[in-house]
A and B are shown apart, each in its own frame.
Chain A
């Protein structure tokens, strides 16, 4: 039977001759607990499946664009920048972001200091601003190496920090969440806030890259 005329479904095999691998692992205890609590809450009418679905969709829908808007505002508005650096949580309320129960700490890249963020203990990340963290941010090798050999990691991201500049790593281990305020690139004096926001990639706000020039 040729590949394009066969009339059966492929639940158990593929046509390159390998059986389909079922790579689902058994649930860990926390997953079983989550399922049990979720089903109980739905059964008792406390929340609905639709509400849970909408919340997940809303969280998944968040992306680094929000962070880019905050960075661009700080570049054009001096007072906002001062507020962002001294009381980040209050400053981002203007963007409809509620950081509670954590607090936002914004660290500024300058000619003297390059900041980068890691969470060695787990994967704390400013999700309310940048959305879901990239897979590498949660990997053990990034978490272990970022605090021990940050310049090597940065080089692997294509970011070479000059020798005279200090590299400052922020281990996001407790109640703060960190956002790096990258340096505004030269030659962008004529761009407006909206155009500036388009220049700001996610990784520059984690501190593993600069703004591409």
Chain B
């Protein structure tokens, strides 16, 4: 399956409102991170959750964000980070 991104690429999570079984939490939408690894292709949870096939499969990535990017008032250390899984259709090149 084709993949748009590779480890080290800068990406932005798409800022959009979408109801349903979406696995992209609000706190990462619109935020910029770096691809940590390509996980592989998985059924799309946004349709799978409703008894559908989950096809076509979606490429899944782990994305690393600096905590300071996620929270303006982050109180920890500047190097602290967070990693989360994001499907390709929620990512754009940055």
Total interface residues on B, using CB and 8 Å? Answer: 26
Complex Cα distance, B40 from A168, in Å, reads: 22
Q: Which residue of B lies closest to A178 (CB)?
A: B83
Question: In the complex, what distance in Å separates the CA atom of A120 from the CA atom of B84?
Answer: 10
The answer on a CB contact under 8 Å between A168 and B25 is: no
**Are A174 and B45 in contact, with the CB atoms below 8 A?**
yes
Would A150 and B80 be within 8 Å (CB), given that A120-B25, A174-B85, A176-B85 are in contact?
yes
Name which residue of chain B comes closest to A115, CB basis.
B83
How many Å lie between the Cα of A121 and that of B46 in the bound state? 14
Alpha-carbon gap, A198 to B90, bound state (A): 43
Interface pair A166/B80, CB less than 8 Å apart: yes
Contact B77 A166 (CB under 8 A): yes
A103 at the interface (CB under 8 A from B): yes
Interface positions, chain B 3-62, Cβ under 8 Å from A, are 23-25, 27, 39-40, 42, 45, 60, 62
- B79 and A173 form a contact (CB under 8 A): no
Task: Report if A151 contacts B (CB, 8 A).
Answer: yes
Complex Cα–Cα for A105 and B85 (A): 11
Main secondary structure of the interface of A (DSSP, over half): mixed
Nearest A residue to B82 by beta-carbon distance? Answer: A169
| B84–A170 touching, CB < 8 Å | yes
Question: In the bound complex, do residue B83 and residue A170 qualify as a contact, i.e. CB atoms below 8 Å apart?
Answer: yes
Specify the chain B residue showing the minimal Cβ separation from A107. Answer: B83
Is A148 at the interface (CB under 8 A from chain B)? yes
CB closest chain-B residue, reference A174: B85
* A176 near B39: Cβ-Cβ < 8 Å: yes
A 144-157 to B, binary, CB cutoff 8 A, 1 in contact else 0: 00011111100000
Residues in B79-94 with C-beta less than 8 Å from chain A:
79-87
A174-B23, A174-B45 known; A167 and B75 CB under 8 Å? no
Q: Which residues of chain B have C-beta atoms less than 8 A from A152's C-beta? A: 75
Complex: chain B residue closest to A149, CB-CB: B75
- Residue A174 contacts which of B27, B42, B70 (CB distance < 8 angstroms)? B42
Whether A163 sits at the interface, judged by CB under 8 Å, is yes
Are A173 and B83 also in contact (CB < 8 A) when A121-B23, A151-B75, A163-B77 are? Answer: no
Q: Which of B23, B40, B70, B82 has the most C-beta atoms of chain A within 10 angstroms of its own C-beta?
A: B82
How far, in whole Å, are A167 and B77 apart by their CA atoms in the complex? 8
| A39 contact set on B, CB distance < 8 A | none
Q: B76 — nearest CB in chain A belongs to which residue?
A: A151
| Closest A-B pairs by Cβ, 8 of them | A174-B85, A171-B84, A166-B79, A169-B82, A167-B80, A151-B76, A174-B23, A175-B42
